[in-house]
């Protein structure tokens, strides 16, 4: 495994923000298209939704991995770092 610098708090926050934005896109699609079990989606709608869902899944996995690495490198619990990240993301996004 190649040596790489430990992630910074800012990198953890930005990865979480990207994952949150991808999740919001999935939720927007669910809202606009309706539940797939109740509505017949076109092939393009299905592809769009599945692409958005995979992007969210991948970005969330990367965010969680980076958060775990950050916490480990600093001897902090994941839960503590997650709480700090969530607070920072909410404050930057105006929530």
Tokens 């996004």, residue located: 93
pLDDT for 49 beyond 90: yes
- Cβ distance 63 to 12 under 8 Å? yes
- Residues 54-92 as b or e (16 or more Cβ within 10 Å = b): ebbeebbeebbebbeebbeeeeeeeeebbebbeebbeee
pLDDT digits 0-9 by tens, 70-95? 999 999 999 999 999 999 999 988 76
- Give counts: helices (H), strands (E), the chain: 3, 0
pTM (predicted TM-score): 0.86
In terms of C-beta distances under 8 Å and separation of at least 24 residues, what long-range contacts does 43-50 make, across chains too? Answer: none
pLDDT for 38 beyond 80: no
């Amino acid at each position: 495994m190649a040596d790489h610098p430990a992630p910074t708090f800012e990198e953890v926050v930005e990865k979480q923000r990207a994952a949150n934005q991808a999740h919001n896109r999935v939720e927007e699609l669910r809202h606009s298209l309706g539940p797939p079990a109740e509505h017949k989606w076109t092939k393009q709608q299905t592809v769009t939704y599945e692409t958005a869902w995979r992007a969210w899944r991948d970005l969330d996995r990367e965010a969680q991995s980076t958060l775990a690495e950050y916490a480990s490198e600093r001897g902090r619990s994941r839960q503590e770092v997650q709480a700090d990240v969530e607070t920072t993301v909410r404050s930057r996004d105006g929530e």
